Amino acid sequence: MASAPYDDRDGWIWMDGEFRPWRECKVHVLTHALHYAGAVFEGQRAYGGKIFKLDEHTERLFYSAKTLGMEVPFTQEQVSDACKEALVKNNLVDAYLRPVIWRGSEMMGVSAQKNTIHAAIAVWEWPSYFSPEARMKGLRLDISDWRRPAPECAPVKAKASGLYMICTLSKHAAEAKGFDDALMFDYRGQVAEATGANVFFIKDGEIHTPKPDCFLDGITRRTVIGLAKKRGIKVIERAIMPEEMEGFEQAFLTGSAAEVTPLSEIGPYRFEVGEITKTLMLDYDACVRA
Q: Give the span between the Cα atoms of 217 and 192, in whole angstroms.
A: 11
Q: Which amino acid is at 130?
A: F
Q: Give the span between the Cα atoms of 223 and 235, in whole angstroms.
A: 12
Which runs of consecutive H residues, i.e. helices, occur in the chain?
A: 32-36, 54-67, 76-89, 132-137, 165-176, 219-230, 275-288
Q: Give the span between the Cα atoms of 149 and 215, in whole angstroms.
A: 8
Asked if 159 is an active-site residue, the reply is yes
253 touches 263 (CB < 8 A)? yes
Q: Phi/psi zone of residue 117: left (φ > 0), alpha (ψ -120 to 50 degrees), beta?
A: beta
First-residue to last-residue Cα distance in the chain: 27
The DSSP-derived string for 237-280 is: EE---GGGGGG-SEEEEEETTTEEEEEEEETTEE----HHHHHH
Residue of 137, 159, 203, 278 with catalytic role: 159
The DSSP-derived string for 44-77 is: EEEETTEETTHHHHHHHHHHHHHHTT---SS-HH
Q: Give the span between the Cα atoms of 234 and 211, in whole angstroms.
A: 15
Q: Which amino acid is at 133?
A: E
What are the C-alpha distances in Å from 197 to residues 157, 167, 271? 14, 10, 18
Q: Quick one: 17 exposed, middle or buried, by C-beta within 10 A (0-12, 13-18, 19+)? A: exposed
> Which residues are annotated as catalytic?
159
